[in-house]
Structure 1
Amino acid sequence: MRTARLRTAHPVLWAGWAALAAGAVLCVIGWYGVSGERYAERQLPYLASCTIPGAALIIAGAVLLAHGRDTIAATRVEELYGLLVAAEPASADESGQAAGAPVAVSGETLMVPGGTLWHRADCPLVAGKAEAVPVDAKLVANGGLGPCPICEPAEPADGGGPRRCPP
């Protein structure tokens, strides 16, 4: 797949460079022709036949170069994504965890001041952070904090659930 996209990208790059060069040559010829004529009615043919098409070719060449470079970049991103997807996850023997095991299992919940999520204490997003503090139940009750999508903690046990008014 990569070679097919690169094969289509390289001719586009060459065409872009060729269009830029041809446009520059036409602009120079047009400028030279216009500069040699004293009257505007004699300058118009040079503008119409050289300078305006030259400018259009320069713009077209720039567009082709940008498209070709985007195609090459997209090809590289797809190749890296393919390498990431093809990499096999570490087995239970190598990593110490079984495949499909939860990321965090601690019952204690923490939050980072100024953050928007609460986490289990052994969540990789807060593990080892000195600024992590126990969850404030009022923030959870007000909806100021949401559960971390990585460690998926349960509601804080210290009454942090939603409060209901008595009937």
Structure 2
Amino acid sequence: MTSWTRLRPRTPRLGRAAAAGAGLVTTAVLLTACNKPQPTVTMFTGNKSQAVSAQPPCTVLGSCQSESSKVGQIKAASGSQILVDVPKALADGGWIVAAFTSDGTKNTALTTPGASSSPIRGHHTVRLQVPDATTGSYYLQVTALKPSNQLTTWLVGVQLTQ
């Protein structure tokens, strides 16, 4: 019995040490996952393309502002089309594109048929209609239907040209 009582106090210490070690490994894995590069979405118009970086995951939840340095910019001719191409992981999980104007405080959806998309699953591209207007600009926002640290939202400004 004496040897059992001597081992008994040490057993919880070993358990705590193992749990602490497992916690450190889990934390390291989670931090590594957060630092992986976000996938890009590519916009094609005319003979030009623009790769767009993902916004921080918190923009999907509305808890932070979009990063202006990650807002892509493209020019599109009035009445033309824009091709949006997304990575396989986003295509498999599902995505949607919203077209809107913004005055800085309020976003207004575009009413041009085909300027936005319905939910897309299993396809990595969609063609969007550019409004018939000679001047102005609007935004396209690509959003993952299943937001995560790797798949969030992408934002691009579209400048209309003639």
Instruction: Specify if TM > 0.5.
Output: no
Bigger radius of gyration: 1
Q: Which has the higher contact order (CA 8 A, sep 6+)?
A: 2
Q: TM (normalized to structure 2)?
A: 0.30
Larger helix percent: 1
Q: TM (normalized to structure 1)?
A: 0.29
